[in-house]
Chains A and B, each alone.
Chain A
Amino acid sequence: MGKSMVSLIRAAWTMLTHTFRRRVTVQYPDERIRYFPRAKGRIILSRDPDGGERCVACYLCAAACPVDCISLQATEDEHGRRYPEFFRINFSRCILCGFCEEACPTYAIQLTPDFEMCEYHRWALVYEKEDLLISGPGKYPGYNFYKVAGLAISGKGKGEAENEEPPVDVRSLMP
């Protein structure tokens, strides 16, 4: 009892000493802080080093999204490369939590430090794939999902990915 009383008083004293601490907040529009490259702001979709869309429409970002603000539809081109037919983020719902980025197996979806996206109309906060796609690889320059995945796409056949052997010859009788 006595001990907890002391701790309460000490807590109040600690609070009082904060009167003389430096303020943490800044006067935002007048002053600006430096945003770190991994700050979580507006979401973008990046591209492979060779310029292809990185997103393979696996739906993991949508599943991870706690506010369900990501919606997409997967489709395939004629060579078996999967991509989103549409990819929509409703930023009026987005809470910039970054779960989508965590979930993304291909580094396609990334959060950028830009958070200043006020609009006068809510519909202006609905971003389609064309609004989200950037021209570069974003934070992860070297990665190319199809170079490590076993699926064949145009320009990369079976067994041509990293760490893969050429396709087996089923008819071989060699031990």
Chain B
Amino acid sequence: MCEAARSILVVVGVLAGAIAIAAGLIWVERRLLALWQDRLGPNRVGPFGLLQVMADMIKIMTKEDWVPPFADRAVFVLAPAIIVVTALLSFAIIPFAPGIGVVDLNVGLLFFLAMSSLGVYSVAFAGWASGNKYSLLGGLRAAAQMLSYEVFMGLSLMGVVILAGSFNLRTIVEAQEDMWFCIPQFLGLVIFVIAGVAETHRLPFDLPEAETELVAGYHTEYSGMKFGMFFVGEYIGVTLISALVVTLFFGGWNGPVLPPIVWFLLKTSLFICLFILLRATFPRPRFDQLLGFGWKVMLPVSLANLLVTGAVTLARG
């Protein structure tokens, strides 16, 4: 009974935490972007503008939740839910600290890859169901982009799997007590971060919603909380990828002095900031450049990485 209550507590805690962090990121991102662009950012609502998040939420909740008459209603409503659900489900396998985690799957990494594959449906559905040419273009771009980058995202992680000898994330973290995998798997790390940015279609890989070309891409027709779900889904995705980077390459909760959960959160926030820094810095590539880069550069590099890792591991016996 106590075990069950603890499980429920952890589940609720993770869920609430993920959503709260995602919501908080709205403020964090705007402040950070402002910081790097020599501006001030939102600073009017509450201390340091912290209540801006509340204001935004009130606004977005009370907006007219409109489904265009030309849209495919069922699919249109379903699409935003998928992205949030898949992203949140992925959190189930994250080992936050020893003893803190929702489930301990021995195919944890595969579960994450499966969930991120499902996420494609969200944007593809949204783009198609909107009945708008810009949305459709955005949806098509998203599908092509996510499918392409998923391939070597999976491959880049295989190095880690080989080193740790497991798909279980908890085992992977424990395998890094001596050395974080970011050192032997540096290439894997770079590839995973790039793929992660593309998977969450954040700048510079935000071509599915490229405002300058496609109005707002696949979520052009969305408003109110449905749009909010895409919005939040994106931030949950950012948090998720950051958490995975920490888990897979930076030793997860490992660290001296401070309690493990603090280490985990610290490292994760650092990578979230990195995501925002990327957004602040880079311009958007052309779509053919994006796909060309994926298939012609990243895929061979990740395959080479896998081969070398495998060879070295074999050679060491």
Task: With A8-B282, A11-B282 as known contacts, state yes or no: A24 contacts B277, CB within 8 Å.
Answer: no
A127 shortest CB reach to chain B, Å: 31
A25 and B37 alpha carbons, distance in the complex (Å): 10
| B40-A12 in contact (CB<8A) | no
A14 and B281 alpha carbons, distance in the complex (Å): 9
A20 shortest CB reach to chain B, Å: 9
A18 and B36 alpha carbons, distance in the complex (Å): 5
B196 shortest CB reach to chain A, Å: 16
Is A173 interfacial (CB-CB < 8 Å)?
Answer: no
B32 nearest CB neighbor, chain A only: A19
A26 shortest CB reach to chain B, Å: 8
| A22-B38 in contact (CB<8A) | yes
Is B316 interfacial (CB-CB < 8 Å)?
Answer: no
B41 shortest CB reach to chain A, Å: 9
Is A154 interfacial (CB-CB < 8 Å)?
Answer: no
B19 shortest CB reach to chain A, Å: 28
Is B278 interfacial (CB-CB < 8 Å)?
Answer: yes
Interface residue tally on B, bucketed by range: 10 to 19
Q: Which residues of A contact B37 (CB under 8 A)?
A: 18
Q: Which residues of B contact A1 (CB under 8 A)?
A: 297
Interface residues of B in 31-66 (CB under 8 A from A): 35-40
Q: Which residues of B contact A163 (CB under 8 A)?
A: none
A27 and B43 alpha carbons, distance in the complex (Å): 10
Is B291 interfacial (CB-CB < 8 Å)?
Answer: no
Q: Which residues of A contact B280 (CB under 8 A)?
A: 15
A5 nearest CB neighbor, chain B only: B190
| B281-A11 in contact (CB<8A) | yes
| A15-B40 in contact (CB<8A) | no
Minimum-distance CB pairs A-B, first 3: A24-B38, A15-B281, A12-B281
Sample 21 A-B pairs with CB under 8 A, ordered by A number: A8-B281, A8-B282, A11-B282, A12-B277, A12-B278, A12-B281, A15-B277, A15-B280, A15-B281, A16-B277, A18-B35, A18-B36, A18-B37, A18-B38, A19-B36, A21-B38, A23-B39, A23-B40, A25-B38, A25-B40, A27-B40
